[in-house]
Chain A
Amino acid sequence: ETGVTQSPTHLIKTRGQQVTLRCSSQSGHNTVSWYQQALGQGPQFIFQYYREEENGRGNFPPRFSGLQFPNYSSELNVNALELDDSALYLCASSWYDSNYGYTFGSGTRLTVV
């Protein structure tokens, strides 16, 4: 059984650029969620995907978008990067029934300069 893999681990981008972060879900999980964690804070929910459709969204602007692929891997895209987008981005996979918990990846540390 594989865990959740995220790539890249670190990334530095310039304000205004676009970035794509990738996540491979744990084998068998059909739901993927993305979270943003600013330094010293708890993670904040960005959105969730189930069956390749967005299945709920947190308080994030439309320039945050995502994709889920048939193999349940996922991408998080952020356009027009702002300095405040600097954070740790975490991907979590789960069964649709969330009573079985979530498996998180190690995250991608994004720095916007």
Chain B
Amino acid sequence: SQQGEEDPQALSIQEGENATMNCSYKTSINNLQWYRQNSGRGLVHLILIRSNEREKHSGRLRVTLDTSKKSSSLLITASRAADTASYFCATDSYSGNTGKLIFGQGTTLQVKP
């Protein structure tokens, strides 16, 4: 079963614009991670934010986490055509001695040149 929902399911923007994707989840978490996937291939780890953090930056990426609302957002600034991909949030709900990721359905981002 999927942990959360991502919004929007699809997003189309022009190069240079900002892209914002949102993720909601249901249970308490250890951390939340964002991944990118190109053309149904492997997942590339983008950024991890721990449950005691509220905001994190990495290059053109900004992630926020609101544990009271069980939600996160990923902002990609100054988007490029190469950012075209599917983006997934994944929560790590460390249970006992097992860490496992529970993924959302993903947001498909198209950046037009």
Residues of A within 8 A of B (CB): 4, 6, 31, 33, 35, 37, 39, 41-45, 48, 50, 55-56, 58-59, 88, 90, 92, 94, 96, 98-107, 109
A59 to B42, CA, bound (A): 22
- Those of B42-77 within 8 Å (CB) of chain A: 42-45, 48, 50
**Residues of chain A contacted by B45 (CB below 8 angstroms):** 101-104
- With contacts A41-B105, A42-B88, A42-B104 known, is A98 near B43, CB below 8 A? no
Interface size (B, Cβ < 8 Å)?
30
Q: Is the CB of A105 within 8 A of B105?
A: no
User: Taking CB as reference atom, which chain A residue is nearest B2?
Assistant: A42
Residues of B within 8 A of A (CB): 1-2, 30-31, 33, 35, 40-45, 48, 50, 88, 90, 92, 94-106
User: Taking CB as reference atom, which chain B residue is nearest A96?
Assistant: B99
Q: Is the CB of A90 within 8 A of B42?
A: yes
Between A and B, 16 residue pairs with Cβ closer than 8 Å are: A33-B101, A35-B101, A39-B40, A42-B90, A42-B105, A45-B101, A50-B97, A56-B95, A56-B97, A59-B1, A88-B41, A94-B99, A98-B30, A99-B31, A102-B101, A104-B44
- With contacts A98-B92, A107-B42 known, is A56 near B1, CB below 8 A? no
Shortest distance between the CB of B23 and any CB in chain A (Å)? 11
User: Taking CB as reference atom, which chain A residue is nearest B9?
Assistant: A40
**Residues of chain B contacted by A102 (CB below 8 angstroms):** 33, 45, 101
A6 to B41, CA, bound (A): 11
Shortest distance between the CB of B45 and any CB in chain A (Å)? 5
A66 to B63, CA, bound (A): 34
A98 to B35, CA, bound (A): 15
Q: Is the CB of A99 within 8 A of B103?
A: no
Question: Which of A56, A100, A107 interacts with B100 by CB under 8 Å?
Answer: A56
User: Taking CB as reference atom, which chain A residue is nearest B33?
Assistant: A101
Q: Is the CB of B103 within 8 A of A42?
A: yes
